[in-house]
């Protein structure tokens, strides 16, 4: 199991505010991911990173941005929150083992409510 942390766990914020969702992992995994998940629904990949200074957009268009300055840290930023951003945001990191392939491990998630 990977140790992966997300803060805050819950956030209620007004429209137009800038917010940063934190994600960190202590396992030294190179690959990290951000998913958006509406309650009881499937996950949608919004950003991922192969390592330091690498960031890529995922399948779901998102107005958020990410950065990867350190291996262990992969924050997600919304410059101007809107009610349509209300969702759960899951961070994940993955390890690759020869003969076993890649496995993703998830953080506890951040539930965001934009009023």
Partner 1 sequence: AQTVTQSQPEMSVQEAETVTLSCTYDTSENNYYLFWYKQPPSRQMILVIRQEAYKQQNATENRFSVNFQKAAKSFSLKISDSQLGDTAMYFCALIRANNLFFGTGTRLTVIP
Residues forming the site for partner 1 (CB under 8 A): 31, 33, 40-43, 45, 48, 58-59, 90, 92, 94, 100-109
Asked if the bond preceding 8 is cis, omega within 30° of 0, the reply is: yes
Angle at 9 between CA 74 and CA 79, to 5 degrees: 55
If the CB atoms of residues 79 and 102 are measured against partner 1, the closer one turns out to be 102
Question: Of the two residues 96 and 115, which places its CB atom closer to partner 1 in the complex?
Answer: 96
The nearer residue to partner 1, 64 or 110, going by C-beta atoms, is: 110
Least Cβ distance, residue 17 to partner 1 (angstroms): 24
**Whether 94 contacts 102, CB under 8 Å:** yes
**Whether residue 44 has a cis bond before it, omega within 30° of 0:** no
């Amino acid at each position: 199991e990977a140790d992966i942390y997300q803060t805050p766990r819950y956030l209620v914020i007004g429209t137009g505010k800038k917010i940063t969702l934190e994600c960190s992992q202590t396992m030294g995994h190179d690959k990290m991911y951000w998913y958006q998940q509406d309650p009881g629904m499937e996950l949608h990949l919004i950003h991922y990173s192969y390592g330091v200074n690498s960031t890529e957009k995922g399948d779901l268009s998102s107005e958020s941005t990410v950065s990867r300055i350190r291996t262990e840290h992969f924050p997600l930023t919304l410059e101007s929150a809107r009610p349509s951003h209300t969702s759960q945001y899951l961070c994940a990191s993955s390890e690759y083992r020869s003969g076993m392939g890649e496995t993703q491990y998830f953080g506890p998630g951040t539930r965001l409510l934009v009023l």
